[in-house]
Chains A and B, each alone.
Chain A
Amino acid sequence: MRARLATTVGGAAATVSRLAGKGDGSVIGGIIGLRLEPDLLSLLATGRQVVLVTGTNGKTTTTRLITAALGSCGQKIASNVYGANMEAGLTSALSREPDAPFAVLETDEKYIPAMIKATQPKVVVLLNLSRDQMDRAAEIWMLARRWRQALAAAPGTSVVANADDPLVAWAASSASSVSWVAAGQRWREDSWCCPHCGAHLVRPDDDWHCPECDNRRPPIRWALKDGQVIDPSGQAWPLGLALPGRANASNAVIALAVAETFGVTVSSALAGGMREVTSVAGRYTQVRRRGTQVRLLLAKNPAGWLEALDVMAPAPVPVLLAVNAQVPDGRDTSWLWDVDYRRLRDRPVLVGGERRMDLAVRLEADGVAFQLVDSLDQAIDLARAPSLEVLANYTAFQQYRAVLGRAQ
């Protein structure tokens, strides 16, 4: 009864929030509901098959791909599609879909232990761990340790985890059952050393093992290989995603491994929805503006920028890089020095965002020529090209997206 009341009041608040133009209503309803009934999330999760998705990068996209993959089951699915990934966001997502038997919930890395406790998930998805917003996020070795403890205490939960990220593999290995995915790891600067004993890992190609203890890459069930997915029987399937880049292929293989735990086959998951996902909350959106085809890429940390630079159309397509350092971005721009920009030397580069001077000095050190800009339109006008690739971190991305009319 309390849960129903809390949900109703929370839902009303969300509606008010949307009508008042204060937000998309994905958090406020949950906050009010939880105030009235602190166990609301547990109550709402009871009786559902819950998937929690976490990691430093790819949470939103993977959540979307899993939701698409499970669509072929024909069941309603609750999901926090707007990326509100803490307790209130999860609560709102469930209360909006009270009779959905499935829930696919993106979850902040720090909150996973508490959310596992509250929702008793069927599956926890662990994507990757790398340096991110160090001024407010926890240390990643510490996070891995907390994940490890939380999974050890949840014997009813199975895990889908990236075996190619040694820190993730170490965290996941405490779970009672793990479906290991060779999803690849482009960024390795946070996992050269063994999380168990600290020795420098031996990493020939994709394999890895510790020379000083028995920590090693676990046996693989699913793999991403040359852009194709290799299923547990060894059969290769072309992914054929609309979403670009290696990182999204990696997210997709993980989504397929999750689909397997729901009895969804590769062919129905891919054809039944995953291939149709074209943009996720404005990421990868293409918009025509002032005669230029503008594509928006969002990346928030060095691993994300590395993958995004891979995704970009080759030179001579011009690139606009934009960096802010507001609270959601992390106020510390040190991470800019962890990205290698030298591959941008052969194309026009424009630099925007509130912290463009930080980026300017960084590019200078890498010998990349650039022009500073005050706005997206100025960048488009200076580029004078048929297309422009835009790579921005979180609030810079949202600012450009707003200029383009809340592009989806």
Chain B
Amino acid sequence: VSELPRDGGAGIPGLRLVWIYPDLLSTYGDRGNLLVLERRARLRGIPAEVVEVNADQPVPVDGDIYLMGGGEDLPQVLATRRLAADGGLREAVRRGAVLFAVCAGYQMLGTEFGGAEGQPMPGLGLLDMRSGRGERRGVGEILADVDPALGVPRLTGFENHQGVTQLGPGARPLARVLTGVGNGDGTEGAYAGRVLGTYLHGPALVRNPGLADLLLTWAAGQQLPPLPAAAEDLALRLRAERLAGAAPGAGAYGRDRPGPRGAGLGLGRAGAQGRRDLVADRRERRRLDPRSAARGPAGAPRPGGSRLGGRPPRGGRRLNKPGLGRPRP
């Protein structure tokens, strides 16, 4: 692994992507995040090397981006125990590696989560937060507006968990929930430094290329060139369709039937909400483009981005009873 070329075509060093325990923490499409990061790096001429680390292997400390997926109750407990004993991930984070975790993996990052019988289990302590079990399972499409400091467009994803998560002062919410459950208090996900977790489960980066690029930017230590429009087209069309499908008013679980055939394949189907979001997306990508003179400082609120920010969560599925935990993918 040491002969990884450290100079990509764009003058950006190669990236080593480390997938933690695909044998224990890969419940539903988690590989998608790895594939998206790899593709978006390669399309920019950045060499990406993928390392898959099984539960019986040591975690390398020299990776650039670490990924943790979802998992059922028992695998979550076993994976946490093994990761804590191994120590490699903690050392990698201490060295400044990027860590992205979803669902069960996200809960594991905190100081505490619920075990198979709901009992509190010690987490990895990489984020200042603790998780427990909520009253109801949160299953369905989720929309959330990202902390403006991160400059990432609205999140769209699918959540499936019964966990509720409380953040301590050392972590910031990743986003504010528009539709869905998230952490259970109107916020969704958490981040601190380069460690970032979310309840959007499985292939969370597929519909959120902006989040994927944030992780790549952190790892590269510099702004990245934008992708050619043709390489973004399908992902943005899917994103628009899903944004429209899960928008408030589309029903608690989202409208995921695009309608009868003949309604068109792209934006026509996605509806007005999706069109608005897509426009915001494109504006956002222009803003993040280092070659664009219009680009603001990293912390500047993006135009139109926090339209609904600050509102209480929609959908009436508040989960606010920490205690027994039941990790979910």
A binding-site residues for B, Cβ under 8 Å: 131, 134-136, 139-142, 189, 192-193, 198-200, 211, 324-326, 331-338, 354-358, 360-362, 364-366, 372, 374-375
B55 CB within 8 Å of chain A: yes
Q: A332-B160, A334-B202 are in contact. Are A134 and B27 (CB under 8 A)?
A: yes
B75 with A141: CB separation less than 8 A: yes
- A361 contacts B28, CB within 8 Å? no
Contact of B234 among A141, A332, A360 (CB under 8 A): A360
Which chain A residue has the least Cβ–Cβ distance from B24? A193
Q: How far is the CA of A324 from the CA of B238 in the complex (A)?
A: 14
The listed residue (A136, A337, A358) touching B31 by CB distance below 8 A is: A337
The smallest beta-carbon distance between A353 and chain B, in angstroms, is 10
For window 237-261 of B, CB contacts with A under 8 Å fall at: 237-238, 241, 253-254, 256-258, 261
**Closest 8 interchain pairs by CB?**
A334-B29, A334-B202, A337-B29, A198-B78, A337-B32, A192-B23, A200-B56, A374-B261
Q: Which residues of B contact A135 (CB under 8 A)?
A: 139-140, 158, 160
A-chain residues with CB within 8 Å of residue B35 when the two chains form the complex = 337, 365-366
- Distance (Å) between the CB of A114 and the closest chain B CB? 21
For A356, what are the chain B residues with a Cβ–Cβ distance below 8 Å?
Answer: 265
Q: Are the C-beta atoms of A365 and B36 separated by less than 8 Å?
A: yes
B14 within 8 A of A: no
14 other A-B residue contacts (CB within 8 Å) besides A193-B55, A198-B24: A140-B72, A141-B73, A192-B54, A198-B77, A326-B257, A331-B140, A332-B28, A334-B32, A335-B29, A337-B30, A337-B202, A338-B28, A338-B29, A357-B265
A-B CB contact pairs (8 Å), 8 listed: A192-B54, A326-B257, A332-B158, A333-B158, A337-B31, A337-B206, A360-B234, A362-B206
For chain B, give the interface size range. Answer: 35 or more
Task: Tell me the bound Cα distance from A364 to B31 in angstroms.
Answer: 14
Q: Is the CB of B262 within 8 A of A374?
A: yes
CB distance from A372 to the nearest CB of B (A): 6
Cβ-closest chain A residue relative to B200: A334
Contact partners of B234 in chain A: CB under 8 A: 357, 360-361, 364
When distances are taken between beta carbons in the complex, the residues of chain A under 8 Å from B36 are 365
Interface residues of B in 7-50 (CB under 8 A from A): 23-24, 26-32, 35-36, 39
A325 B261 Cβ-Cβ under 8 A: no
Total contacts A-B at CB 8 Å:
113
CB pair A193–B73 under 8 Å, yes or no, is no
The answer to whether residues A134 and B329 also contact, given A326-B257, A365-B35, A365-B36 and a CB cut-off of 8 A, is: yes
Would B256 and A331 count as touching, CB distance under 8 A? yes
Contact partner of A200 (CB less than 8 A), chosen from B39, B54, B202, B235, is B54
> Does A134 lie within 8 Å of B54, measured CB to CB?
no
When the two chains form their complex, are residues B75 and A193 in contact, meaning their CB atoms are under 8 A apart? yes
Complex interface residues of chain B between 48 and 97 (CB less than 8 A to chain A): 54-56, 72-75, 77-78
Verify B203–A139 contact, CB threshold 8 A.
no
B74, A141: Cβ atoms under 8 Å?
A: yes
For the complex, what is the distance from the CA of A338 to the CA of B238, rounded to whole Å?
A: 18
- Which listed residue, A141, A200, A361, touches B238 by the CB 8 Å rule? A361
Shortest C-beta distance, B180 to chain A (Å), equals: 13
Pairwise interchain contact B73-A142, C-beta atoms closer than 8 A: yes
User: B23 to chain A: which residues have CB within 8 Å?
Assistant: 192-193, 200
Interchain CA distance A325-B241 in the complex, whole Å? 13
User: A360: which of B28, B238, B256 is its contact (CB, 8 Å)?
Assistant: B238
Is the Cβ of A198 less than 8 Å from the Cβ of B26?
Answer: no
B154 at the interface (CB under 8 A from A): no
Interface string of B289-320 (1 = CB under 8 A from A): 00000000000000000000000000000000
8 A Cβ contacts from B201-255 to A? 201-203, 206, 234-235, 237-238, 241, 253-254
CB distance from A344 to the nearest CB of B (A): 16
Nearest A residue to B55 via CB reads: A200
B28's contact among A200, A335, A374, by CB below 8 Å, is which?
Answer: A335
Please measure, in the bound complex, the distance between the C-alpha atom of A336 and the C-alpha atom of B158, giving whole angstroms: 13
Judging by beta carbons under 8 Å apart, are A334 and B158 in contact? yes
| Interface hub of B73, B74, B265 (most chain A Cβ within 10 A) | B74
Q: How far is the CA of A140 from the CA of B39 in the complex (A)?
A: 31
Contacts A135-B160, A354-B256; A336 near B238 (Cβ below 8 A)? no
B28 to chain A, nearest CB (A): 4
Whether the Cβ atoms of A357 and B72 lie closer than 8 Å is no
Distance in Å: Cβ of B293 to nearest Cβ of chain A: 31
Tell me how far the C-beta of A316 lies from the nearest C-beta in chain B, rounded to whole angstroms. Answer: 24
B241 touches A357 (CB 8 A): yes
Known contacts A331-B140, A334-B203, A337-B29, A139 near B54 by CB under 8 Å: no
Cβ-closest chain B residue relative to A336: B29
CA distance A374 to B268 in the complex (A): 14
